[in-house]
Structure 1
Amino acid sequence: MESQATARRVQRVRHELKVRDLTVARIESPSPNFVSVTFAGESLRDFVSDSFDDHVKFMIESSSAEPVRRDYTPRSFDRRAGELTLEFALHGQGAASDWARQARVGQKALIGGPRGSMIVPMDYDWHLLVGDATALPAIARRLEELPANAQVEVFVYLDDPADQRELPSAAQVHVHWCGSTDALVDAVRDWAVPAGEGFAWCAGEAASMAALRQVLLQDKGLPKEAARIAVYWKQGASDFHERLEG
C-alpha cells in the first residue's frame, strides 16, 4: 500500500515546449567552480518551472551545423522580474562550461523547455537528496522550497572542498560533504532509512547513480515509486541524460 500511495502522490505535468531567445542580465560566482548566470527576456512571460527537478535545454552556436544542447536545472525563476537563473558547474572541458567561463552581460542564448515537471510533494516524513556538483543547483533549489517541518538528509560529492557552501533552508537539514564518489555511495549506504514515508532524489554521474540505485532500491528496499535516480552525465559522453529509478 505504501508503494501505491507514493506513486499516486508524485505528479507529472506537461508544458508547452517553447524555445526562448534570452539575454544575459547578471553573472555571479557562488564558489570557485560554479558560475550563476541570470537571463532576461520578453519570452519568459509564460515560462513555467513547477519542480526543482525541471530541465531546460541550453543552446549555443557551435562550429558544427547543429547548436550545442545541454540540460540544466532552472536554479530560480523570478516571474515579477522576468529573470531565469541557471547555475553552471565548471567541471572539465565542454562547450557549455566554456561558454559559462567567458559569459558576459548582454550575450544571447537560447533556452528550450521545460518539457514537463515531476512534482514531488513537500509533506513527506523525510527527504533524501544526493548528488555531485551537477546536482547541487537542484538540491539548493529544493532546500529553499521545502517547509520548516521537513526533515532532510543531503549527501553531496564535490571535487573541490572550496565549493562547499551554505544551503539556505527553512527545513531541518543535515548536509554531508563527500570527497569522492565512493565516499558518497558509502555514506548513503551507512545512512539509516527513517520511519515513515519518504522520497529519495539522486542525480549525477552514471556509475555512481547505478551504485546508488542498488543501495537504495535493492539493499535498503525503498519502493521504486519513492525514488528518482537520474544520470546527468557519463564519463566520455556529452549531452547524456537518463533515469534509473525503474
Structure 2
Amino acid sequence: MSAREIRRIRHELKFRRLSVVSVEAVTPTLKRVVLGGDDLVGFVSAGFDDHVKIFPVKDGETLHLPTLGPDGPVFPEPRPVSRDYTPRAYDAELNRLTLDFVIGHGGPATEWAEAAAPGSILSVGGPRGSFIVPTDYADHVLIGDETALPAIARRLEELPAGVRALTVIEVKSAASRLAFTTRADLTTIWVERNGDNGQADALVSAAKTAAADVSREDAYVWIATEAQVAKTLRIAMVEMGFDPKAMKAAGYWRLGDMGSHEVIGD
C-alpha cells in the first residue's frame, strides 16, 4: 500500500534554446513537436502534469530570454510572450523533448507550432518543480479537454497493472481521439463538440455519470480544462464524495484570457 503522500519536489530553473528535430500531426487538432539541443542536458520532468514555459517567436525574430537573479528570473522589457505546456516525453539518452500542441484556435504558441519545421527555434524554461502522485491508488479519474491530453497520456503510461483508470475527455470530434497506452484497466469516455462550443455542460454531465461507479475509498481525481469548467468539475467531484486531498483541478486556459494557467482550490 502507498503512504498516499503527494510530494512536491523543486528543480533548478534553467532557460534553454532548443531546435525542432521533427514535427508530426498526431490528430487534426494535435501537433507533436520534438526538440533537441545541448541545452537539454540535465532536463528533469518528474511529474506527469509538469509544465514548462515556452517562448514562441517567428523564425528570424530575436528573443531575449530571462536571466536568473538572486530572487528568481529577471525578465527583459518588453516581457517576452510565454505559454505553459506539459512535457509529453523526455528521452535523456537521445536528448529529445516532446511537446504536443493543440492547434487551430490562434495565439502565439499555436501559430508557432503550425509553422514549426525541423530547424525552427523554441526557447523553454523549467519545469520549476513537480508534484509526485502515487501510482498505486486503486482508481484514477482523469478529466480534461484537448489541452489535458499530454498529461493524461503520460499518466496512463506510468500507471501499473492492477489499478483502474477512468478518463473523460472533451475533444473537437471523433478525429481528435487518441489511442492510449497503459497497463491499467482503462475506461475512456469521449465527449465530442462536433462544432458546438457549448459542450462544457456535456463534459461535466459525462464526468459525473462515469465517476458515479468509481469507489470513493481509494481514488485520485485529476482535472484540467477551461478554468471555470475545472472549478465546476472539482465542486461536483467533492460533492460526490471524492476526497479533496486526493484531487487536483487546474485551469489550463480561461475563456477570453489568453495564456492563463491556474490551480483551482476551494
TM-score in terms of structure 2 length: 0.86
Question: Is 1:183 paired with 2:202?
Answer: yes
1:25 maps to what in 2? 21
Alpha-carbon separation, structure 2, partners of 1:104 and 1:150: 39
Structure 1 residue 61: Cα displacement: 3.0
Q: For structure 2, list consecutive stretches of 5 or more residues without a partner in the other structure.
A: 62-76, 193-198
Aligned partners of 1:34 and 1:88 also within 8 Å: yes
Aligned to 2:158, which of 137, 145, 155? 145
Tell me whether 1:198 sits opposite 2:194 in the alignment. no
CA distance in structure 1 between the partners assigned to 2:163 and 2:36 by the alignment:
32
Over residues 75-123 of structure 1, what are the superposed CA-to-partner deviations in whole Å (9 max), with x where a residue is unaligned? Answer: 0000100000000001411110011011010011100000100000101
Shift, 1:214, TM fit: 1.3
More helix by share: 1
Contact 1:131 1:202 in 2 (8 A): yes
CA RMSD of aligned residues (A): 1.5
**Which moves more between the two structures, 153-162 or 111-120?**
153-162
Deviation for aligned residue 1:160: 2.2
Alignment-derived partner of residue 15 in structure 1: 11
Mapped contact 2:88–2:100 kept (Cα < 8 A): yes
Q: CA deviation at 1:195?
A: 4.8
Q: Distance in 2 between matches of 1:160 and 1:17?
A: 38
What is the CA–CA distance in structure 1 between the aligned matches of 2:35 and 2:57, rounded to whole Å? Answer: 17
Deviations 1:137-180 (A, max 9, x none): 11011111111112100000012221012111111100000122
Counterpart of 2:263 in structure 1 is 243
CA contact (8 A) 2:88 2:98 kept: yes
In 2, the alpha carbon distance for the partners of 1:105 and 1:65 equals: 28
The 8 Å contact of residues 57 and 112 in structure 2, kept in 1 or not, is answered as no
Given that residues 7 and 133 in structure 2 are in contact (C-alpha distance below 8 angstroms), is that contact kept between their aligned partners in structure 1? yes
Q: In structure 2, what is the Cα distance between the partners aligned to 1:149 and 1:77?
A: 26
> What residue in structure 2 maps to residue 51 of structure 1?
47
How many pairs does the alignment contain?
239
Whether 1:88 aligns to 2:96 is no
- Tell me, yes or no, if structure 1 residue 208 matches structure 2 residue 229: yes
CA-to-aligned-CA distance 1:58-86 (integer Å, 9 cap, x gap): 11237993322000000000010000000
Q: Tell me the distance in 1 between the aligned counterparts of 2:18 and 2:163.
A: 35
Distance apart, 1:222 and its partner CA = 2.0
What is the DSSP-based 3-state SS (H/G/I as helix, E as strand, rest coil) of the residue aligned with 1:173? strand
Letter in 2 for 1:158: V
Which residue of the other structure, out of 41, 64, 67, is the alignment partner of 2:37?
Answer: 41
Note closer, same or farther for the CA distance 1:151–1:175 as it changes in structure 2 (3 Å cut).
same
Q: 1:79 is aligned with what amino acid?
A: A
Instruction: State the partner residue of 2:110.
Output: 97
More displaced stretch, 63-72 vs 128-137: 63-72
Give the CA deviation at 1:44. 1.1
Q: CA deviation at 1:221?
A: 2.5
User: What secondary structure, in the 3-state scheme, does the structure 1 residue paired with 2:202 have?
Assistant: helix
Cα shift at 1:223 = 2.3
**Does the 8 Å contact 1:224/1:245 carry over to 2?**
no
Q: CA deviation at 1:196?
A: 2.8
Identity of aligned residues (%): 41
Provide structure 1 residue ranges, at least 5 long, that are not aligned to the other structure: none
Post-superposition CA distance 1:178-220 (Å, at most 9, x none): 1222111001212223153110000010121111011011x21
Normalising by structure 1, report the TM-score. 0.93
